[in-house]
Amino acid sequence: MPRIASVEAVLNVSAYLFTPIEDRDELRLTLVDRARAAELKGTILLAPEGINLFLAGRPEALRGFLADLRTDARFAALEPKESWSPRQPFGKMLVKLKNEIIRMDHPTIRPVEGRAPAVSPSTLRRWLDQGHDDDGRAVVMLDTRNAFEVGYGTFTGAIDWKIERFTQFPQAVVDHLDDLADKTVVSFCTGGIRCEKAAIYMREIGLGNVLQLEGGILNYFEEVGGDHFDGECFVFDEREALLPDLSTR
């Protein structure tokens, strides 16, 4: 469970949602104005396929910003993951326009048209405890993050193909198909966005037993802690990495 925030603590949130966005230019201006008025800092990415955000600020201001954002039906399903820091981990507030909220360079992979099946943190922990899934298949944990992120920490025994960027992931899957055959493959990443695209891609090329870890590592930490995880989770801000209780060293 996340640690209790002190009075001075800064709230940090990360969230993403695959949802069609056709008015990115206008939306960018709106979000810049709202975020700066709330004295928030961080980054929001807007792409035709959806939104990805990392923000920090005063708890009431940040939660108010997110509540306003979710009044837009396109973003109503946003499920932010919260953590805390003693100081503001971002230097400025940016809203950027991108072609993809996480670049894969495979335009046929469209999560907005349907997600891959997911496994909850509690179910995954049970599977890892017992050594197999509920159908008796071996469970393979597949880290979809870049190699330097994996170096901070990962699930015990997870597959790491040491990719340098996510665009290399599709070819890595093709090169290692035999390692994944006849197993239940659980793709995971920091907050869910990469492992969601990864799971869809693997299912589309014929791997039948592929799941994504719901909400990624940060959701796993929040719901069940650090069981079966070695080390810390790298995050893209000045905190650098989070422990399983979502605190920093």
Which residues are designated catalytic?
A: 189
Distance CA 56, CA 82 (A): 10
Q: Which two tokens stand for residue 122?
A: 């509690």
Q: What is the DSSP letter of 183?
A: S
DSSP string, 91-135: SSEEEEE-S-SS--S-TT--GGG-PPPEE-HHHHHHHHHHTS-TT
- Is residue 246 within 8 A of residue 223, CB to CB? The reply is no
Question: Residue 150: what residue type?
Answer: V
Kindly report the CA angle at 165 between 121 and 147, in degrees rounded to 5?
65
- Is residue 19 within 8 A of residue 51, CB to CB? The reply is yes
Q: How many residues does the chain have?
A: 249
